[in-house]
C-alpha cells in the first residue's frame, strides 16, 4: 500500500478548549509527521520518530497542517445567489433563491454546478460538508456522484417543500417521501456519503409533509435531519401562523418527530427559554451561520446562552445566504457577532469548532476533524503569511494563538496552500 508522510507543523484538537491557556486541549507538533496509508492517518508523531524509508515524504514546512474544515450547513444550488440584494430572508428567498433553484431541474446543469461547488469547497480548505440540494432528486444525485468521484465525505439531501413556493419547486408529501426514500437507498452509507432528510423549513412544508419527514427519520435512524429554525422575526411569525396548534416554532418540528441528536437546525437565533430547553433535551444541534445572519440582518446567535443550556452548536457558511465559502471568514464574522454580545471566541476554540467540534456535532469525530491515528486523511495546509497584510502582521506574532487569530480574522482561501482528501492532493494553490 502506498505510504505517504506529510511533514509540517501539525495542529489537532482533542476536546473543546476551555480558555485561552488550555494548551492541553490540542496536540501541536512543531516538526511533525503524519503517516498516511489507504487514505487514513496511521500515525502522528515527531517527524524524526517516523520511518521514512519507502515512503513518499511531502514537506509542508513552515506551514500548519490541520484537519480539513467541515461546513455543517450550506446550499448547493445557491452558488449563484451569493450577494443578492434583499431586505431580509423571506424577500431574498422569493426574489432570488427560489427562481435560481428552479434551474436545478436540469441534470446537466446540476452536474456542472456540482463540480464547481466542490471545487470552491476544496479551494477554501473545506473537505466535508452538509449540503441542501434543490427539490429535484437529480440535483442530489449530481452532488453525490461528484463527491463520490472525489472520495469526499459529504452529507446531503433533497429539499422537501410542498407549499409557499413556486409550483415548479413544489413536490407533495408523498412524492417527497418516496423520492427521499429512493435517494437514501441509493446513497446513504455508500463510500463516504450520508443522507440528510431535508424538510426545508416549516413555512414550505405542509403538516403532512413534516409528518412524512418524521416517518423517514424513524425508518432511517442513521440518517441526519436538517432544516431551518428561528432565523428572523417575520419567518417565526409566519411559521407559527401556519401551525397554530404548535406551542412555538421548535414545537412544530418536535411534533413531527424531527428533533434528535442527528438534527441540524440552521440559525436557531430567536429562541425562547422553553425552546432552548426542548432542543437541549433532544440534544439537537443548532448551527451558527454568521455571515448569513449578518448579510440577511437576521439577528445575533447567542452562543453562550445555548451552551449554558447544554447545547453544542455547530458553525457553517450557509452559502448562499452566507457570503463566503471560507470557514476562516465564517470564524471572523462569528467572532464579531459574539463580540457584539460581550462573548468571546478564542482562536483555540475557533479552530476546534471548524474541525473536531463540527465533526462531533455530526457524530463523526472518530472519522474526521482530527489528525489522530485512524482518522481519514482530510487535511488543510495553511499559510498565515499568505497576503502582504497578513505577512506584515505575522512579523509581530509571537505565539501559536496569535498566528491562529491572524488566520481567523484575516484569512480566507488565499491562506489555503493545499487541501488533501482521503490522503490525496485535492487542491494546491497556484
Ligand atoms: N430558510 C429556508 N430556506 C432557507 C435558505 O435557503 N436559506 C436561509 N438562510 N434560510 C432559509
Ligand atoms: Zn440555509
Strands 159-160 vs 193-199: parallel, antiparallel or unpaired: parallel
pLDDT of residue 310: 98
Flag whether pLDDT at 291 surpasses 80: yes
What average pLDDT score do residues 51-66 get? 97
Is 101's C-beta closer than 6 angstroms to any atom of ligand 1? no
Is 239's C-beta closer than 6 angstroms to any atom of ligand 1? no
pLDDT of residue 421: 98
pLDDT of residue 392: 98
Ligand nearest to the CA of 235: 1
Contacts 24+ apart (CB under 8 A), 162-170: 162/204, 162/205, 162/206, 162/208, 162/209, 163/204, 163/205, 163/206, 164/203, 164/204, 165/98, 165/204, 166/98, 166/99, 166/102, 168/102, 168/105, 169/98, 169/101, 169/102, 169/134, 169/135, 170/135
Flag whether pLDDT at 269 surpasses 90: yes
Ligand nearest to the CA of 323: 1
Strands 40-46 vs 26-37: parallel, antiparallel or unpaired: antiparallel
Candidate of 99, 228, 319 to mutate for ligand 1, largest count of ligand atoms within 8 Å of Cβ = 228
Instruction: Give the angle subtended at the CA of 144 by the CAs of 142 and 149, to the nearest 5°.
Output: 100
What average pLDDT score do residues 132-143 get? 98
Ligand nearest to the CA of 298: 1
- The answer to whether residues 274 and 243 touch, using CB atoms and an 8 Å cutoff, is no
Q: Is the pTM of this model over 0.85?
A: yes
Ligand nearest to the CA of 231: 1
DSSP state of 96: I
What average pLDDT score do residues 33-38 get? 98
The rounded mean pLDDT for the chain is 98
What is the number of the ligand 1 atom nearest to the C-alpha of 132?
A: 6
pLDDT of residue 38: 96
Is 201's C-beta closer than 6 angstroms to any atom of ligand 1? yes
Concatenating the DSSP letter of every residue in 337-393 gives: HHHTTT----HHHHHHIIIIIHHHHTT-TTTSSS-STTSB--EEEE-TT-SHHHHHH
Candidate of 157, 287, 288, 321 to mutate for ligand 1, largest count of ligand atoms within 8 Å of Cβ = 321
Q: What would you report as the CA-atom Rg of the chain, rounded to the nearest whole angstrom?
A: 21
What is the whole-number distance in angstroms between the Cα of residue 305 and the centre of ligand 1? 23
Nearest CA to ligand 1 atom 7: 321
pLDDT of residue 204: 98
Sorted by sequence, the CB contacts under 8 Å of residue 367 that are 6+ apart come out as 153, 359, 375, 376
- The answer to whether residues 198 and 137 touch, using CB atoms and an 8 Å cutoff, is no
* Torsion sign, CA atoms 163, 168, 169, 174: positive
Q: Which three cell numbers stand for residue 353?
A: 469548532
Phi, psi of 69, rounded to the nearest 5 degrees: -75, 155
What is the whole-number distance in angstroms between the Cα of residue 97 and the centre of ligand 1? 9
pLDDT of residue 252: 98
Q: Would you place residue 2 in the very low, low, confident or very high pLDDT band (cuts 50, 70, 90)? A: confident
Neighbours of 309 (CB within 10 A): 18
pLDDT of residue 94: 96
Is 228's C-beta closer than 6 angstroms to any atom of ligand 1? yes
pLDDT (tens digit per residue) in 327-366: 999 999 999 999 999 999 999 999 999 999 999 999 999 9
Taking the C-alpha atoms of residue 417 and residue 403, their distance in angstroms, rounded to an integer, is: 16
What is the number of the ligand 1 atom nearest to the C-alpha of 203?
A: 2
Measured distance between the N- and C-terminal CA atoms of the chain, rounded to whole angstroms: 29
What is the whole-number distance in angstroms between the Cα of residue 83 and the centre of ligand 2? 15
Is 318's C-beta closer than 6 angstroms to any atom of ligand 1? yes
Is 128's C-beta closer than 6 angstroms to any atom of ligand 1? no
Q: Which three cell numbers stand for residue 127?
A: 473537505
Longest dimension (CA), the chain: 68
Flag whether pLDDT at 271 surpasses 90: yes
pLDDT of residue 388: 98
What is the whole-number distance in angstroms between the Cα of residue 125 and the centre of ligand 1? 24
Is 126's C-beta closer than 6 angstroms to any atom of ligand 1? no
pLDDT (tens digit per residue) in 298-317: 999 999 999 999 999 999 99
Is 73's C-beta closer than 6 angstroms to any atom of ligand 1? no
Is 161's C-beta closer than 6 angstroms to any atom of ligand 1? no
pLDDT of residue 218: 98
Phi, psi of 413, rounded to the nearest 5 degrees: -65, -20
pLDDT (tens digit per residue) in 386-424: 999 999 999 999 999 999 999 999 999 999 999 999 999
What is the number of the ligand 1 atom nearest to the C-alpha of 235?
A: 1
pLDDT (tens digit per residue) in 185-231: 999 999 999 999 999 999 999 999 999 999 999 999 999 999 999 99
What average pLDDT score do residues 107-120 get? 98
pLDDT of residue 100: 97
What is the whole-number distance in angstroms between the Cα of residue 316 and the centre of ligand 2? 9
What is the whole-number distance in angstroms between the Cα of residue 228 and the centre of ligand 2? 6
Q: Would you place residue 374 in the very low, low, confident or very high pLDDT band (cuts 50, 70, 90)? A: very high
Ligand nearest to the CA of 200: 1
Flag whether pLDDT at 1 surpasses 80: no
What is the whole-number distance in angstroms between the Cα of residue 147 and the centre of ligand 1? 23
Amino acid at each position: 500500500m502506498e505510504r505517504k508522510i506529510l511533514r509540517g507543523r501539525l495542529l489537532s484538537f482533542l476536546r473543546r478548549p476551555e480558555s485561552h491557556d488550555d494548551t492541553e486541549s490540542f496536540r501541536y507538533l512543531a516538526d511533525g509527521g503524519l503517516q498516511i496509508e489507504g487514505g487514513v492517518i496511521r500515525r502522528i508523531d515527531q517527524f524524526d520518530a517516523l520511518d521514512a524509508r519507502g515512503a513518499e515524504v511531502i514537506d509542508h514546512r513552515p506551514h500548519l497542517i490541520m484537519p480539513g474544515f467541515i461546513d455543517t450547513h450550506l446550499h448547493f444550488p445557491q452558488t449563484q445567489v451569493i450577494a443578492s440584494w434583499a431586505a431580509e430572508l423571506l424577500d431574498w428567498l422569493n426574489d432570488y433563491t427560489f427562481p435560481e433553484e428552479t434551474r436545478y431541474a436540469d441534470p446537466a446543469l446540476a452536474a456542472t454546478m456540482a463540480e464547481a461547488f466542490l471545487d470552491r469547497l476544496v479551494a477554501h480548505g473545506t473537505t466535508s460538508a452538509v449540503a441542501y440540494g434543490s427539490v429535484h432528486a437529480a440535483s442530489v444525485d449530481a452532488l453525490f456522484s461528484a463527491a463520490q468521484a472525489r472520495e469526499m465525505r459529504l452529507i446531503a439531501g433533497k429539499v422537501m417543500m410542498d407549499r409557499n413556493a413556486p409550483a415548479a419547486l413544489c413536490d407533495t408529501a408523498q412524492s417527497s417521501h418516496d423520492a427521499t426514500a429512493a435517494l437514501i437507498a441509493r446513497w446513504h452509507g455508500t463510500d463516504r456519503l450520508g443522507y440528510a432528510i431535508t424538510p426545508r423549513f416549516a413555512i414550505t412544508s405542509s403538516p403532512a409533509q413534516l409528518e412524512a419527514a418524521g416517518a423517514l427519520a424513524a425508518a432511517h435512524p442513521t440518517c441526519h435531519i436538517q432544516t431551518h429554525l428561528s432565523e428572523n422575526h417575520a419567518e417565526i411569525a409566519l411559521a407559527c401562523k401556519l401551525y397554530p396548534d404548535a406551542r412555538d416554532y421548535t414545537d412544530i418540528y418536535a411534533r413531527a418527530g424531527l428533533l434528535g441528536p442527528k438534527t441540524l437546525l440552521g440559525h436557531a437565533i430567536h429562541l425562547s427559554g422553553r425552546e432552548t430547553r426542548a432542543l437541549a433535551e433532544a440534544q439537537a444541534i443548532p448551527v451558527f451561520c454568521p455571515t448569513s445572519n449578518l448579510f440577511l440582518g437576521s439577528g445575533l446567535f447567542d452562543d453562550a446562552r445555548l451552551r449554558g443550556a447544554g447545547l453544542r452548536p455547530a458553525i457553517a457558511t450557509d452559502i448562499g445566504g452566507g457570503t463566503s465559502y471560507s470557514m476562516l471568514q465564517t470564524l471572523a464574522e462569528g467572532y464579531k457577532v459574539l463580540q457584539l454580545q460581550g462573548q468571546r471566541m478564542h482562536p483555540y476554540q475557533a479552530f476546534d469548532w471548524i474541525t473536531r467540534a463540527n465533526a462531533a456535532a455530526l457524530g463523526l469525530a472518530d472519522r474526521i476533524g482530527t489528525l489522530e491515528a485512524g482518522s481519514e486523511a482530510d487535511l488543510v495546509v495553511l499559510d498565515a503569511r499568505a497576503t502582504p497584510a497578513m505577512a506584515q502582521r505575522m512579523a509581530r506574532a509571537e505565539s501559536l494563538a496569535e498566528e491562529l487569530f491572524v488566520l481567523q480574522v484575516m484569512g480566507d482561501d488565499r491562506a489555503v496552500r493545499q487541501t488533501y482528501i482521503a490522503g490525496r492532493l485535492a487542491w494546491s494553490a497556484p
